[in-house]
A = this chain, B = another copy of it.
Amino acid sequence: MEVIPPPEEWLIRRDRTQQLMREAGLDGCLISQNIGIYYLTGSMQTGYLFVPAQGDPTYYVRRSLTRALKESKVHTVELGSFRQFGEQLAEDYPDVFGQGSADTHPRIGADLDVMPAQLYLRLTGAVPHAEWSDASMLLRRVRSVKSEYEVSCISKAAEAAAAALQEGLSVLREGMTELELMSVIETVMRRRGHVGLMRMRGYNQELVTGMVAAGEAAAEPTYFDGPAGGRGLTPAAPQSVSNRPIRRDEPILIDIGCCIDGYVIDQTRTAVIGELRPELKKAYETADKILRRSEELLQPGSKPEDIYTEALQIAAGAGLSEHFMGFGPDQVKFLGHGIGLEIDEWPVLAKGFKEPLEPGMVIAVEPKFTFPEWGVVGVENTYLITDTGCRPLTLSPEKIFEL
């Protein structure tokens, strides 16, 4: 059943965006990315959203206008000729762009971390008098705090992932390939409404349903911006599942997620057919210890980077620094990440993230240990920051699944 966001949702999102824009001294923001547009309009058609620092946004739509007019919660019009977009904006927002505006060079932010350079160059040509700046960080900050509606969407995705894991574990047998196991898991999530991929903001990053990987295939280093990538099916898609058969007594990393009603969940469990060797059991226990300690720290006021630092210390205390979050030169430098419409949202539990946590943030925490010859063990839950601490949204039981 589809849950509908309450009508005030869109006003609250707009107000939060405009508040941060004014603090940053921006006169307006132009949003080009489908997800950014959806967040503020409820529609994901092709076009641009202009948000002035004060007043009503306008959604300029190329295609499909018909559909945008049905879905959008903000003022929606047809995008005229792109070359005249500057004139269209000046007409609609004379206080910002017009001859009558106090500021002849309005400061306009845009989502430059995702907007292609070609479009950026055309845009600066079409809207010549604006002074453009990168509003990526601002937009990511706005979205880092989720509404009740958004949390309910993530929870629905969590239900699908839990059901998929259960089904996957029930069919898991020695000799089955990673791909075969993943296909069972994917079918459960898909039939529950997974849209087919998990959106990722990072350039050149892609994600379908996460990864299932066993033994040394899980430990293969990848370009993927996560602690474990997996071998993949081909050098042309070098991450996630491979055709490797799953064997006895090796760790099976089941790092899965899905996207339902636009929102993604991310969770990891470790399984084994038989028993893990003692070194891997110890590493899993260390991951568990990091997760427990993170749960204590996940509360309003905590600094994300401090949680990462504590994790590094626990890993070091166990003598596992070199194996933490990838191996050697292929380690990633974070413990967890915000999650919502995209899987790589803010805040990141990493150095440099000093802004204190706030209620409503949703963060996936994923301590993992990589052993090049043996594989990867770890655990990952997604948490909601509450007024006093945190609450897991992940529903799967937490343990090494020994089959």
Contact = CB atoms under 8 A, between A and B. Distances in A.
A341 B234 CA distance: 13
A316 interface: no
Most central of A118, A187, A222 by chain B CB within 10 Å: A118
Q: How many copies does the complex hold?
A: 2
B44 A341 contact: no
A183 B193 CA distance: 10
A197 B195 contact: no
Contacts of A186: 186-187, 190
Given A2-B234, A43-B238, A237-B259, 19 more contacts: A44-B223, A45-B223, A46-B223, A63-B330, A64-B330, A71-B235, A113-B117, A117-B117, A117-B120, A179-B193, A182-B190, A193-B243, A195-B232, A196-B197, A197-B206, A197-B208, A234-B260, A234-B262, A236-B262
Interface of A: 2, 32-34, 38, 42-46, 63-67, 71, 110, 112-121, 134, 136, 179-180, 182-183, 186-187, 190-191, 193, 195-197, 199, 203-204, 206, 208-209, 220-223, 229, 232-238, 240, 243, 259-263, 329-330, 341
A238 B288 CA distance: 39
27 contacts: A2-B234, A34-B204, A34-B223, A38-B236, A44-B236, A44-B238, A63-B330, A64-B222, A67-B221, A67-B222, A67-B223, A112-B116, A113-B116, A116-B116, A117-B117, A121-B134, A179-B193, A187-B187, A193-B234, A195-B237, A196-B197, A197-B197, A197-B208, A233-B261, A234-B261, A236-B261, A236-B263
Nearest to A119: B203
A90 to B, nearest CB: 22
Given A38-B235, A238-B44, A221 B329 contact: no
Most central of A42, A44, A117, A261 by chain B CB within 10 Å: A117
A76 to B, nearest CB: 13
A258 to B, nearest CB: 11
Contacts of A222: 45, 63-64, 67
A236 B330 contact: no
B64 A221 contact: yes
A262 B179 CA distance: 16
A94 B220 CA distance: 35
Given A235-B44, A262-B237, A341-B236, A64 B223 contact: yes
